[in-house]
Structure 1
Amino acid sequence: MTDPAIDAQSPEALLRVVNPILRRALKTPLGGFLGDFMLIAFTGRKSGKQYSIPVSAHQLDGELYVVAEAQWKYNFRDGADAQVSHRGKTRTMRGELITDRSTVAGICERVATSYGPKKAQRQMGMKFRDGRLPTIAEWEEAVDGVKLAAIKLTPTA
């Protein structure tokens, strides 16, 4: 059996150190210099718990996306508002969870291609087998295997 083409496991120890720093920085004017990242603050759908999660910011066709395998993504099923701190500004945005296999694979493939293989792995928090860009079929396998999904963020009125 071969290794999967895409491994989406986050380095937990590194995140425990980096995330608190990003949480603070992204809410300040310093966040303007951290355009590759954004902070999403939202309320849990079922728990009512407040979350504040630093994530990579991905832009496609002028739209802002998050690609995630983490369970918190399900809070955006059926849409949810979030406070998004990106490029030094915080605004209310509507997040819509996208789980359709081919749509998510297409978003991931386009995001990865826009970065190139080395930066894509870093920005997307993933490891690509052989250091090359995955194919659409491999992205589709990752949607199923690691439960990748996308969240599209749009400004509220």
Structure 2
Amino acid sequence: MTAPAIVRPIPAPVPEGQDAQLRERLAGPAPGPMGERLVLLHFRGRRTGRDLEVIAGLHRLGDGLFIATGSRWRHNFAGGAHAAMTWRGRRRPVELRLVDSFDRTVAGYTHLINEYGRAGAERRLGITINVDRAPTDEEVRDAVRRCGLSLVEVRLEEESV
């Protein structure tokens, strides 16, 4: 049996302390180049009511900002929810909305894979590409369906003074 063209491997556990160091760096006033691509999302879990903070990759698609993820926390943003995002060392209010269009999600992942190239897409999207060419649209569709790949739209909100 042939392996699928794209898979989403289960991430390895982050070594003790490394996660806290990354969070601290992203929240600091000068996060460096990684502060452009990585953000901290601060939100309340819908079911648990707990305050959560996750590290996520931020991507530009057209004029919009998006988080590309297959993680379960994405469901908190079905229908949209207010949250906060620390980006470039600054915490700001945002609205996060899970993209509910399958075709729009496929188009977004296809664009990002082509823009980043194989190595960049694997690193920045948390996927493994098992073919030695750009995945076809059908292969991306299959991966989105099979792996639960999703996009969360980020809308920056006006800050109250």
Query: TM-score normalised to the size of structure 1?
Result: 0.91
1:98 — aligned with what? Answer: 99
Rounded to whole Å, the distance in 1 between the matches of 2:15 and 2:57 is 13
Figure out how many residues of one structure are paired with residues of the other and give that number: 157
Q: Distance in 1 between matches of 2:132 and 2:88?
A: 29
Residue number in structure 2 paired with 1:146: 147
Task: State how 1:51-62 maps to structure 2 within 5 Å.
Answer: 51-62=52-63
For the residue of structure 2 that corresponds to 1:23, the secondary structure is: helix
Cross-structure match for 2:68: 67
Once the two structures are superposed, residues 70-129 of structure 1 have per-residue CA deviations (whole angstroms, 9 ceiling, x without a partner) of 111000011011211112221111001013221111011111211111111101111101
8 Å contact from structure 1 (residues 39, 84) kept in 2 = yes
Q: Secondary structure at the match of 2:49?
A: coil
- Matches of 1:8 and 1:116, distance apart in 2: 16
In structure 1, the residue corresponding to 2:30 is in which secondary structure?
helix
The 3 A distance-change label for structure 1 pair 132 and 24 is farther
Letter in 2 for 1:50: D
| Partner-residue secondary structure (3-state), 1:130 | coil
What is the rounded CA distance, in whole Å, between the counterparts of 1:154 and 1:81 in structure 2? 10
**Which residue identity is paired with 1:24?**
E
Compute the RMSD of aligned alpha carbons: 1.7
Q: What one-letter code is carried by the residue in structure 2 that aligns with 1:104?
A: T
Distance in 2 of aligned mates of 1:59 and 1:48: 30
For the residue of structure 2 that corresponds to 1:72, the secondary structure is helix
TM-score, normalised via structure 2 length: 0.89
State the SS of the aligned residue for 2:53. Answer: strand
Task: Name the CA shift for 1:15/1:149 in 2 (closer, same or farther; >3 Å).
Answer: farther
Paired position in structure 2 for 1:11: 11
Q: Is the 8 A contact 1:83 1:93 kept in 2?
A: yes
Task: Give the match for residue 2 of structure 1.
Answer: 2
Partner residue in 2 for 1:44:
45
Match of 1:76 in 2: 77
Q: Distance in 1 between matches of 2:56 and 2:118?
A: 19
Letter in 1 for 2:3: D
CA distance in 2, matches of 1:103, 1:88: 30
SS in 2 for 1:96: strand
The DSSP-based 3-state class of the residue aligned with 2:113 is helix
- Check whether the contact 1:8–1:126 (CA below 8 A) recurs between aligned residues: yes
